[in-house]
Chain A
Amino acid sequence: DADVTQTPRNRITKTGKRIMLECSQTKGHDRMYWYRQDPGLGLRLIYYSFDVKDINKGEISDGYSVSRQAQAKFSLSLESAIPNQTALYFCATSDRIGLAANTGELFFGEGSRLTVL
């Protein structure tokens, strides 16, 4: 089984609908992230969480919200989806800073492809 699991892997929805993308991890990492990938734009950070009580906005948080239900679970919500939120979404984890082995390496899920019509 994958260390970082995203559900659903594919979703087609309509404008105005509420969508939740879920992420769970078995790596035991404190830090979790949601990224969005668009062609030609690379990866852009939506939200990140250092632990259950610490959630922070990234570069492009407008139109999104998150919930860190437990150390292992981090969900991304689109309260009212719009077509320009059509993209490939990735959840990622990393270890806590201050540990000698931590250089900032991220561990990614396989992605959730969202299409908003």
Chain B
Amino acid sequence: GNSVTQMEGPVTLSEEAFLTINCTYTATGYPSLFWYVQYPGEGLQLLLKATKADDKGSNKGFEATYRKETTSFHLEKGSVQVSDSAVYFCALSVPGGYQKVTFGTGTKLQVIP
């Protein structure tokens, strides 16, 4: 079956530090890959996505590249801000049929001033 593995948190960084949150996946077919973000007290919202190998998704200074050879979709940001404190979920969706979305367990990021 499909699965997503992401690094456990919490991750604590100082403001302006470099962020990497690792995500690897297993899937049948050719999945689309996503990063969702959940700010405190809110629902999940899409941060970025990539639909095929070597695509780079980007938004709000965050980036992730779809690496088929390593089955990875690591999230990066060059300089985090306090406002980036949230829980980040990696997810995949395989086209066809039900098109179920499989989520990782989430990584909590705390950015301190």
Contacts and interface: CB of A to CB of B under 8 A. Distances in A.
A111 B39 CA distance: 12
The majority secondary structure among interface residues of chain B is loop
A108 B43 contact: yes
Contacts of B36: 106
B73 interface: no
B76 to A, nearest CB: 21
A110 B103 CA distance: 17
Interface residues of B, number: 24
Given A42-B103, A42-B105, A45-B100, A90 B51 contact: no
Contact of A105 (B34, B89, B98): B34
B42 A106 contact: no
A97 B43 contact: no
A23 to B, nearest CB: 11
Which of B44, B51, B103, B104 has the most CB atoms of chain A within a 10 A radius of its CB?
Answer: B44
29 contacts: A40-B105, A42-B89, A42-B103, A42-B104, A42-B105, A43-B44, A43-B103, A56-B98, A90-B43, A94-B101, A97-B95, A103-B49, A103-B51, A103-B95, A104-B34, A104-B94, A104-B95, A104-B101, A105-B46, A105-B49, A106-B44, A106-B46, A108-B43, A108-B44, A108-B45, A109-B43, A110-B42, A110-B43, A111-B43
